[in-house]
Amino acid sequence: MLTFKKPEVEQFFKVFNIEDFTLSPDETQLVYSTNLTGFYNVWAMDLPNQYPYPLTFNNQSCHSLKYDPNGTYILASFDQDGNELTQFYALPTRGGELEDMRVVEEHRHMFPKFSKDGKRIYYTSTKGNKTYLNCYCYDLETKEERLLIEGEDASTYLIDVSADEESFITLKQFANTHTLAYLIHNGEAIRLTPETEKQHTVDSALFTDSSSIYLVTDYGEDNGYLAHFDVVTKKFTKVSDNDMHLGNIYLDKKGNQLYLVSSKGVEDKLYTYCLEKKEWNEVSIPVSIIDKLVIGKSGCVYLLGKTASKPANIYKMEGGSWEALTNNRVPAVGDEDLSEPEILSYQSFDGLEVEALFFRAKEEVSNGHVVLWPHGGPQASERKFFRSYFQFLVNRGYSIFAPNFRGSSNYGLAYMKMVEGDWGHGPRLDNIHGLEWLIENGYADRDKIFLMGGSYGGYMALLLHGRHPEYFKAVIDIFGVSNLFSFIDSVPDHWKPVMKQWVGDPVEDKERLTIDSPITYLDTMTKPMLIIQGANDPRVVKQESDQIVEALHAKGREVEYLVLDDEGHGFSKKENEIKVFSAILNFLEKHV
């Protein structure tokens, strides 16, 4: 009798996200950061009741939430409008004004950890050591702070503290593909993985007790596996097979087991490893991608995760079955109008196998156009997580092609390393070969291709535009790097030690960096462009976008430039997100 209109574009952006969550020690209060009101704030629910109530009103993204072990307050980390200079505050459990805990405005505070009694916090900071970072211990009773570990050689992060606070685990990041973990005890640093010349990574490590460390590493292998380090004998032992692609590791004290996330390719799996019986079990999960687990004292598992068609939600596992605690979804849009991607695989120019996601517009709405989306990172990957703008573009008739070109994470260490020192050649050709494969196989029409990317993906969009303009009708760059020289110069100080291996050296690699910098190809960037930038972005600074916009304008090219004054490297405010993607849709529709 009644007919309803099709969902509007805006509906796709009226989706709430969840950034982080924590749980009171007695598991009666779940505290999380969500943008329910269009801005991020911290909210809570009194379990088993799932109705949310607000704790903060500061309208800022929250970078981490940790419940005090005594259950008396929440340690919450906020930056200001995306500047990533994260400060620590104490938030009353019933909400209200934030109290400063560790606040030094020009510095970034990271990875807070409580002592067992809650009287001290351990954390990593740029304070006193902008490049390599320092680890501190702050005493909440005496208000005294102690420098615990001084970073040197590489950015140094404190990742675990033993229960007796006598031992620590640090992680040194020489590169994204070269991270080493150390046991720090009595001023001595003992490496957790055996000596080798070969670069490898430690993804995570934790004390199961004072004499035992479990870690995930790819030492001697291509993929992450579980290993054990005996604190007494200093013996490193491989525990799991290397084909599990393990990543994050969580301790379930009650069950005397570890939960491990396996992140192979485009989706995650979850496993338990029983510390006593040494047995593995796969745990079925209600999502494709796990963002975070919290294991309660009760042994219940709380999981934050997503699928390609379902946004971030928190689930609770009790007695083997999952219950959704939140219920975020795309309003007004039915499941039948949301897209789950196909997984494609193709060979690149040199025979390398590349996996890709393809979100196909339904026949009845398709406009025949494909948007190439090179992901950011570049040592990250496009996976089965929820992106509002993918869903809304697909709903409006655009198909999306997102290849996990060489350098992407989750395909092994060697694959990830392939982008290091080669930002602009191999990955670029992987994108182009992907397009050719699509055209050959009937997925795309040569004359109907758009290009859009953010961060490294923005860089790739600019570079592909400059070097292969014939493929694209129009190009969208979201806070992309335009000039590798100025980029290397302008990243945060603690990124600098990894830049040489990751990108290159401005002097030694001058020729290659010139060849791989989009700004070299201004003459051939002839297609209409839309460039989007957050004014506070500390990773890809505004100057990266300013310079290419100026240069292209000087040549009389058609370039729209949208700057968000209160955003950094992402869009934290719903209104900005809607503004950006409305501009993107308008731009695409104009050039379709």
Positions that interact with a copy of itself (CB under 8 A): 1-5, 7-8, 10-11, 14, 36-38, 45-46, 49-55, 57, 72-73, 90, 92, 94-97, 99, 101, 119, 140-141, 324-329, 331-334
- Looking at the Cβ atoms of 4 and 197, the one nearer to a copy of itself is 4
| Interatomic CA distance for residues 342 and 371, integer angstroms | 15
The nearest distance, CB 9 to a copy of itself, in angstroms, is 12
- Looking at the Cβ atoms of 141 and 511, the one nearer to a copy of itself is 141
Q: Is the dihedral of CA 358, 415, 467, 557 positive or negative?
A: positive
449-454 and 370-372: which strand pairing? parallel
The nearest distance, CB 246 to a copy of itself, in angstroms, is 31
CA-based nearest residue to 113, from 18, 214, 207: 207
- Looking at the Cβ atoms of 92 and 528, the one nearer to a copy of itself is 92
Number of separate helices (H) and strands (E) present in the chain: 9, 36
Enumerate the β-bridge partners of residue 89: 76, 100
The nearest distance, CB 193 to a copy of itself, in angstroms, is 38
What is the rounded radius of gyration, in angstroms, for the C-alpha atoms of the chain? 24
Count of other CB atoms within 10 angstroms of residue 166: 11
The nearest distance, CB 307 to a copy of itself, in angstroms, is 16
- Looking at the Cβ atoms of 56 and 134, the one nearer to a copy of itself is 56
**What is the distance in angstroms between the CA of the first residue and the CA of the last residue of the chain?**
36
| Interatomic CA distance for residues 439 and 471, integer angstroms | 11
CA-based nearest residue to 356, from 454, 414, 433: 433
Q: Which two tokens stand for residue 391?
A: 């869903």
Residue 264, SS3 per DSSP: coil
- Looking at the Cβ atoms of 49 and 233, the one nearer to a copy of itself is 49
The nearest distance, CB 334 to a copy of itself, in angstroms, is 6
- Looking at the Cβ atoms of 139 and 353, the one nearer to a copy of itself is 139
- Looking at the Cβ atoms of 98 and 525, the one nearer to a copy of itself is 98
For residue 523, count CB atoms less than 10 angstroms from its CB and return exposed for 0-12, middle for 13-18, buried for 19 or more. exposed
- Looking at the Cβ atoms of 90 and 583, the one nearer to a copy of itself is 90
Enumerate the β-bridge partners of residue 436: none
Enumerate the β-bridge partners of residue 155: 173
- Looking at the Cβ atoms of 11 and 129, the one nearer to a copy of itself is 11
Question: What phi, psi does 499 have (nearest 5°)?
Answer: -65, -35
The nearest distance, CB 146 to a copy of itself, in angstroms, is 17
The nearest distance, CB 54 to a copy of itself, in angstroms, is 5
Q: Which two tokens stand for residue 34?
A: 């969500």
- Looking at the Cβ atoms of 119 and 264, the one nearer to a copy of itself is 119
The nearest distance, CB 14 to a copy of itself, in angstroms, is 6
- Looking at the Cβ atoms of 94 and 510, the one nearer to a copy of itself is 94
The nearest distance, CB 386 to a copy of itself, in angstroms, is 15
The nearest distance, CB 328 to a copy of itself, in angstroms, is 7
The nearest distance, CB 520 to a copy of itself, in angstroms, is 45
| Interatomic CA distance for residues 351 and 370, integer angstroms | 24
| Interatomic CA distance for residues 35 and 432, integer angstroms | 37
| Interatomic CA distance for residues 381 and 415, integer angstroms | 12
Whether 189 and 198 have beta carbons less than 8 Å apart is answered as: no
Residue 586, SS3 per DSSP: helix
CA-based nearest residue to 344, from 438, 229, 270, 412: 438
For residue 239, count CB atoms less than 10 angstroms from its CB and return exposed for 0-12, middle for 13-18, buried for 19 or more. middle
